[in-house]
Amino acid sequence: MDIDSNIKIPFGLKDGVLVHVSDVMSGLKCGCICPACLGKLQANKGTKRIHYFSHDPLSNTEECKSAFETSIHLMAKQILEKNKNAIFPLLELSMSMEDDVGIEHTEKINVTPKTRRDFINVVLEKRLEDIRPDIIAYTSSQAPILIEVAVTHFSNAEKKKIIRDLGLYAIEIDLSDISYQVSEDGLTKLVIEEFKNKKWLSNPDAVNAKIELRDRLKKKIDDANQKIKSILQVCYEKPHIKSKAPSDGVARKKLTGATKQNERRLLLCEVCRNIFEYSVVLSPYTLKTVECPKCGFSVSTVP
């Protein structure tokens, strides 16, 4: 089958180096080949259309469907090798747990901040145990960092497990939204300067951070449960007035007299789990329910 000439490619190989279509002559004079199949390319550089490479329509070569992806993938690696630095994303861990009344508590911890990292050396496609990372970036301060470039194929669970078992740092750069219209400057910005399209695949520092996070959350939950226990104990152990309410029309006045003015009541809303307090003046014991100030549910005052 002849090559599909409709495949638009932003970068081609010229003398072993990837170049953007805007940097070469038009047509077959560009002197470029496809980075995937190594077939001859032509540079389409009209005055009204976005410039792009396509395969030479006269070439008798099988269809090259991976040309676009390969050109982006290889160019991203070339950019990292050339610039030897990149912005790395924030790594933040979050953990949640419910207390004894169902209220969720959350703790967060920053494992590493968003930061620029400089590389003293960049190695491409070097086998490491059972994997072949796109890039191994060496820094002066810590172990090497693996960098994966994803256009259509992302790191699977097996690969991530291998990296984590090796105790290595690794990030993945997501370039799946790129089109053939991308410029070299545009791709450089996404690979080097952007951080929202990057995520951590593995970070050994997260192991100890998870332990610290779990301990902090456990203490927060223990403190909350202790507080709940104390509040509920007061709520359920508080003696209630047992005498019948007077029927002479002055029940409220007698019930909320001077000896009861400062007495407080603690109630638990069964709907929103809100614990709130009312004074006897506002919530006399003759009332069977009071309204929860948070959700409006009628909370029973009968223990």
Distance between CA atoms of residues 216 and 200, nearest Å: 23
- The mean pLDDT value of the chain amounts to 83
- Give, in order, the Cα–Cα distances in Å from 177 to each of 3, 135, 150, 169, 225: 24, 21, 10, 25, 47
pLDDT tens, residue by residue, 118-142: 999 999 988 887 889 999 999 887 6
Give the Cα separation of 259 and 229 in Å (integer).
28
- pTM of the full structure: 0.72
How far apart are the C-alpha atoms of 295 and 303, rounded to whole Å? 20
Residue 87 backbone phi and psi in degrees, to 5: -80, 130
Closest residue by Cα to residue 281 from 261, 303, 251: 261
> In the predicted model, what is the mean pLDDT of residues 15-22?
95
Is the confidence at residue 255, as pLDDT, over 50?
Answer: no
The domain limits of the chain are: 11-65, 84-209, 243-303
- Tokens at 298, concatenated: 């009628």
257 has pLDDT over 50: no
Q: Are 76 and 102 in contact (CB under 8 A)?
A: no
Please compute the mean of the pLDDT values over residues 89-100 and round it to a whole number. 92
